[in-house]
Amino acid sequence: MKTFSLLIFLLVAGAVQAQEIQTLFGRGSGTGGYVALANKFSTFNGDFANLNEVYGGVFINRRWLVGMGFAASTNDIRVPIQYSVNPAVPMTYQYGQGGLMLERVLSSNRSIHLVANLFSGVGFTAQYYRPQWDEWDSWRDYHNTTHDENWFYVLEPGAQLEMNLFRWLRFSPGVSYRKTYGSNGNGLGDRELTNWSYNLTLKIGSFGKRHRARHSSETISN
């Protein structure tokens, strides 16, 4: 009986230890949720595009993230004259997307592991005049300068190499492939928008609850 009890104890202790999250600077375990901040590098019709992305959601069983994601271009992507709605003025392309974000984390407990993700949602492009900061009278001016608004469907699978820096912080460089369906903007059809993206991502949140030692309470009770 003592041998059987000892065996059960060792199995339970081993399971608990296996569930602890291995990080580069600490340990912990459990489930939770997180938000990711990413900078993505891509091209539209051969022109460099810098995109800022934010996504997050519920992290289920240290395996699945189910949430929402949003991204938008931030740099000056000049519209070629032949596609411009106003050739007399330098116009800029604006790109954005928003929708469902799924992530499958493989061996999340390990300090370095792989992540597969999938974005599925709506995208849009538009042309607008990009004034200098001192030319803005109001952010509402943006809506008065946009033209050729174009909506379509976006599907973007990707993969990341994720590193657990702390229990609450992960660094996840990766790559994704953006595929659009139904885009008919001037100079930005599906062929021009479909391309690879490379990203640097920081994830902040609760990736697992920490098993805290109960030395203080045990000392008091004793």
Query: Does residue 34 fall inside a structural domain?
Result: yes
Q: What pLDDT is stored for residue 208 in this prediction?
A: 66
Query: Does residue 15 fall inside a structural domain?
Result: no
User: Which positions of the chain have pLDDT values less than 70?
Assistant: 1-30, 132-145, 208-222
What's the rounded Cα separation, in Å, for the pair 205 and 203?
A: 7
Query: Does residue 55 fall inside a structural domain?
Result: yes
Q: What pLDDT is stored for residue 124 in this prediction?
A: 96
Q: What pLDDT is stored for residue 130 in this prediction?
A: 79
CATH number at residue 113: 2.40.160.20
Q: What pLDDT is stored for residue 57 in this prediction?
A: 95
Query: Does residue 98 fall inside a structural domain?
Result: yes
Query: Does residue 60 fall inside a structural domain?
Result: yes
Domain that residue 83 falls in: 22-207
State pTM to two decimals.
0.77
Total domains in the fold of the chain = 1
Query: Does residue 30 fall inside a structural domain?
Result: yes
The tokens describing 49, both together, are: 């595009």
Query: Does residue 157 fall inside a structural domain?
Result: yes
22-50 as b/e, with b when 16 or more CB fall inside 10 Å? bbeeebbbbbeebebebebebebbeeebe
Q: What pLDDT is stored for residue 213 in this prediction?
A: 44
Query: Does residue 219 fall inside a structural domain?
Result: no
Element (H, E) at 13: helix 2-19
